[in-house]
Structures are given as structure tokens and as C-alpha cells.
A and B are shown apart, each in its own frame.
Chain A
């Protein structure tokens, strides 16, 4: 079955740039999406269609995709950005698939 692979954890100091990657064979043909999930809360969409930011999401969140890898970048990460981040896409048949998640630590 199709898989999206993320690193289990990423750690940065406040003000630094955090980059979280997501690899998948279908990403050259399918959009990547990113969700932020803070402890005890529902996921929130922070990037859609590779690089678009929903209304209300801070400009420090950006996305890119090249070949089989999508990247979420948080420029000037803040303590309040600490959360689990999940990439999402679909396989070639259109079946929804989530990555395993990356725990971002900002300290």
C-alpha cells in the first residue's frame, strides 16, 4: 500500500527555521497537504495544494514540493508552533493517505 514517509522528530531553537519533509512516490503527480496538531486538539490545515496557506495561518508557514518530496518550512519557529505535523496526499487511485507524523520541538 502507498506510504508517505516523515521523520519522527525535528527540533529547533526559537527563531530558527524548521523543515519537515514528506516523501512519497506519487507526489510528483499529487498535491501535498500539511496539518498541525497540538496536544489534545484536532488537526488544523496549514498548507494545501503544496504551497497555499489557508486564511488565518501565519506567513511563517510555507510549503514546497519537488519530485517525490514535499517540505513544510516554518521560518522563525516559535514556541507555540510546537506540535505534531502530518503530511497528507492521495495515492494514484485517489485514496487518502496520511504520513506517520513528525513531532516538532521548539526549545
Chain B
């Protein structure tokens, strides 16, 4: 069973860039899709975007102008960058494996999540 672990700063200043990394263990990062999902305190889940091992990406239109997801297959890692952050970007950020087929796209295994607060 694949395991995922998020890492990165827990505090980011307003207008700066949030940067997180997800390390995949127990399996290869190729040839699969991988996602970032977030959950503001006390609220629901929001899909941010996903990446394939080739580097092909798909982003939530509501965040597309500020998001970049990248992948490093040699390190079995993929990363999230969200720029120009505000307090509204404070959330628990999850990475997840993302089975994708003609039947659909979903998230099967999740990391434990990393809380990120945007504050000065």
C-alpha cells in the first residue's frame, strides 16, 4: 500500500508563496496521477489540482492562476506552489494518489495532511 507524507512550512506570510512537497513511499510515483486537496478549518474539501508522471497537469479553475504542481520522479516526490496567498488559503493541505481512467478520477490513498496558516 502506497504511503504519502506532506512536508513544508506551517506558516506563510500574506502575499508570499506557499510551497509543499509530498513524498511517496511503498510504491513508484510512475505511472500514476497525484493530487493536492485542501480543507479550511471547519469546512469541506477542495480539490486543488493533479499531475501525471509525465508532468501533465490539471488545476481547479478557481485556483489556476496561482497554482503550480510539479513532479520529481527520481525522488518519488511531487510539489505544490500557491502564490499570492491570503488568510483564505489557510487550511490543512493533503496529497493523495489519484486513480484515473475512463470510469473517472478519484482519490484512494491520502497523506495525513499538513496545516498551513497564512499570517504575518
Binding site for B on A (CB under 8 A): 30-31, 33, 35, 41-45, 48-49, 54, 86, 88-90, 94-101
- With A42-B94, A42-B113, A96-B47 known as contacts, the answer to whether A49 contacts B103 (CB < 8 A) is yes
Residues of A within 8 A of B61 (CB): 95
- For A100, the closest partner residue in chain B by CB is B44
Residues of B within 8 A of A33 (CB): 106
Interface residue SS majority, chain B: loop
| B105 touches which of A54, A90, A101 (Cβ 8 Å) | A90
- For B45, the closest partner residue in chain A by CB is A98
CA–CA, A3 to B81, complex, Å?
A: 26
- For B59, the closest partner residue in chain A by CB is A95
Give the bracket for the number of chain B residues in contact with chain A: 10 to 19
CA–CA, A88 to B35, complex, Å?
A: 14
Task: Give chain B nearest CB distance to A54 CB in angstroms.
Answer: 7
Q: Please state if B110 and A42 are interface contacts (CB–CB under 8 Å).
A: yes
14 contacts between A and B (CB under 8 A): A31-B104, A33-B106, A41-B112, A48-B108, A86-B44, A86-B45, A88-B45, A90-B104, A95-B61, A96-B35, A96-B105, A96-B106, A100-B44, A101-B44
